[in-house]
């Protein structure tokens, strides 16, 4: 395992999540540095802190510095040139995790696309700086090289996109076939580590890998099951996380897109989280679902890990995050299986509703558009 100095925000939830991300990417944290602000212009952190870290890093010699915020290329460059150490910001850390976890051909392509977009945003900045004549030869790359590098990424991106479009089309055909034979679809969604896979295993009798690490699941797994007399397909999906740049969600959209077409979406929430964490994650779920155009009428909130929380606290927490009476929610535990029948009852009721207008298969040009966002 590689070693790291971790810089994150000065609150327990951020620290816990940052540790989780480091572990998932295979880094052992040798030293934790808490900061109130990580968005200062030159180095992200203040100059004094930077010098302190320089001294520390010369002493403990970590493999990398992990910076739990998104760094601009110039900030990354400033920090790296002072500290003489490799720097991973939140984006590249998450990309590393995704890369380690990807199993399907589609998720590999999605990650590649996200990496290209990451590179591209950096290349754009490099070109901008070079053009302004501010930093000629910025990061050791001359104008000509930047341009050809930029074009090269663009070409490779084009090829990845067209493969993803083909796969998206394939998915649409599968969806249509399922609909024709009357198979209902149920998707599990939620923040990473909420317990989606554990729930999936309970609902399907599967033994997919579940673990306390973040982002255990990156590819969608689907299994057939029966909801009483109704044949149905249940899918496990990649987890959400907050502070993910839009292009990264974009890259995973074709997998997450399945949520839009599901008859029922079970959003798994870890109710054992602190109130602040719950609120942050719940909001991030709502936002992702809104981005994906998921109809809230089809959503059930499964407040999971209720075995770890007192019943009255569950209600208090549900109210705190704003799961009003109009939303369907049920406390459950995938581990003790408490209330699983009640969850299934809710799912069945939703399946039995008169069929609503089913969204059309997206046309090829729509899918293409889907991957074409502001890369040029
Ligand atoms: N106590 C308790 N632990 C649970 C419950 N459900 C899941 N867990 C634990 O929570 C951790 C994460 O569970 P996973 O099912 O891997 O979570 P996930 O949502 O699939 O996570 P990613 O695939 O990483 O996004 C594991 O250690 C599970 O054992 C529950 O009902 N009660
Ligand atoms: Mg999982």
Are residues 45 and 116 located together in one domain of the fold?
A: no
Question: Which ligand lies nearest the alpha carbon of 239?
Answer: 1
Pairing, β 64-67 against β 27-35: unpaired
272 has binding-site annotation: no
Are residues 178 and 135 located together in one domain of the fold?
A: no
Are residues 145 and 248 located together in one domain of the fold?
A: no
270 touches ligand 1 (CB under 6 Å): no
Neighbours of ion ligand 2 (CB under 5 A): 196-197, 216-217
Residue 87 lies in a domain: yes
Are residues 213 and 283 located together in one domain of the fold?
A: yes
335 touches ligand 1 (CB under 6 Å): yes
303 touches ligand 1 (CB under 6 Å): no
Q: Which atom of ligand 1 is nearest to the CA of 190?
A: 19
Residue 358 lies in a domain: yes
How far CA 213 is from CA of 1, 56, 261, in Å, comes to: 15, 28, 29
- Report CA(364)–ligand 2 centroid distance (Å): 30
299 touches ligand 1 (CB under 6 Å): no
**Residue to substitute in 20, 101, 198 for testing ligand 1 pocket (most ligand atoms within 8 angstroms of CB):** 198
Are residues 146 and 10 located together in one domain of the fold?
A: no
At residue 136, the pLDDT reads: 45
Torsion angle defined by CA atoms of residues 289, 292, 298 and 302, in that order, rounded to the nearest 10 degrees: -30
Q: Whole-angstrom Cα distance, residue 134 to residue 167?
A: 43
> Among 52, 72, 98, where does a domain finish?
98
Q: Whole-angstrom Cα distance, residue 108 to residue 116?
A: 12
Are residues 39 and 138 located together in one domain of the fold?
A: no
193 touches ligand 1 (CB under 6 Å): yes
At residue 131, the pLDDT reads: 63
CATH number of the domain that residue 44 is part of: 3.40.50.11060
For atom 6 of ligand 1, which residue has the closest CA? 195
Residue 375 lies in a domain: no
* 3-state DSSP assignment of residue 192: coil
At residue 134, the pLDDT reads: 53
> Among 140, 160, 180, where does a domain finish?
160
Which range marks the domain in which residue 124 is found? Answer: 103-160
Q: Which atom of ligand 1 is nearest to the CA of 213?
A: 24
**Residue to substitute in 210, 288, 340 for testing ligand 1 pocket (most ligand atoms within 8 angstroms of CB):** 210
Interface pTM, i.e. ipTM: 0.98
Are residues 175 and 255 located together in one domain of the fold?
A: yes
Mean pLDDT in each 10-residue stretch from start to end of the chain (376 residues)?
96 90 92 96 95 96 95 88 92 85 81 86 68 53 69 91 89 86 89 90 79 66 84 82 68 75 93 92 88 89 96 93 83 95 93 59 49 48
Are residues 244 and 353 located together in one domain of the fold?
A: yes
| Distance, first Cα to last Cα, the chain | 38
Are residues 240 and 289 located together in one domain of the fold?
A: yes
Domain count, the chain: 3
At residue 137, the pLDDT reads: 47
82 has binding-site annotation: no
Question: How many CB atoms sit inside 10 A of residue 123's CB?
Answer: 21
Residue 370 lies in a domain: no
**Full DSSP string of 5-56:** EEEEESSHHHHHHHHHHHHHHTEEEEEEEEES---BTTBBB-HHHHHHHHHH
């Amino acid at each position: 395992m590689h070693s790291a100095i971790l810089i994150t925000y000065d609150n327990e939830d951020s620290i816990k999540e940052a540790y989780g991300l480091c572990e998932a990417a295979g880094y052992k944290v040798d030293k934790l540095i808490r900061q109130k602000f990580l968005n200062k212009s030159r180095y992200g952190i203040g100059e004094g802190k930077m010098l302190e870290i320089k001294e520390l890093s010369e002493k403990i010699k970590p493999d990398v510095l992990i910076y739990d915020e998104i760094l601009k290329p110039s900030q990354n460059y400033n920090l790296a040139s002072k500290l003489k150490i490799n720097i991973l910001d939140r984006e590249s850390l998450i990309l590393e995790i995704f890369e380690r976890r990807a199993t399907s051909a589609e998720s590999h392509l999605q990650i590649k696309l996200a990496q290209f977009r990451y590179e591209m945003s950096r290349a754009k900045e490099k070109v901008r700086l070079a053009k302004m004549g501010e930093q000629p030869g910025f990061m050791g790359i001359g104008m000509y090289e930047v341009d050809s590098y930029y074009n090269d990424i663009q070409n490779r991106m084009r090829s990845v996109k067209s493969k993803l479009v083909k796969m998206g089309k394939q998915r649409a055909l599968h969806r249509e076939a399922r609909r024709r034979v009357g198979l209902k679809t149920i998707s599990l969604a939620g923040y990473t580590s909420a317990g989606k896979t554990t729930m999936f295993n309970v609902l399907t009798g599967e033994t997919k890998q579940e673990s306390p690490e973040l982002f255990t699941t990156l590819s969608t797994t689907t299994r057939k099951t029966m909801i009483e007399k109704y044949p149905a397909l249940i899918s496990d999906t990649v987890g959400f996380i907050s502070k993910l740049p839009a292009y990264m969600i974009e890259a995973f959209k074709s997998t997450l897109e399945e949520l839009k077409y599901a008859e029922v979406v079970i959003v798994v929430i870890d109710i054992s989280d602190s109130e602040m964490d719950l609120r942050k994650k719940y909001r991030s779920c709502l936002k992702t679902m809104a981005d994906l155009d998921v109809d809230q009428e089809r959503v059930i909130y499964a407040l999971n890990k209720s075995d770890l929380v007192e019943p009255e606290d569950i209600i208090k927490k549900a109210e705190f995050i704003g799961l009003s009476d109009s939303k369907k929610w049920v406390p459950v535990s995938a581990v003790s299986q408490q209330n699983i029948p009640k969850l299934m009852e809710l799912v069945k009721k939703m399946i039995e509703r008169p069929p609503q207008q089913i969204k059309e298969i997206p046309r090829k040009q729509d899918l293409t558009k889907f991957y074409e966002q502001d890369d040029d």
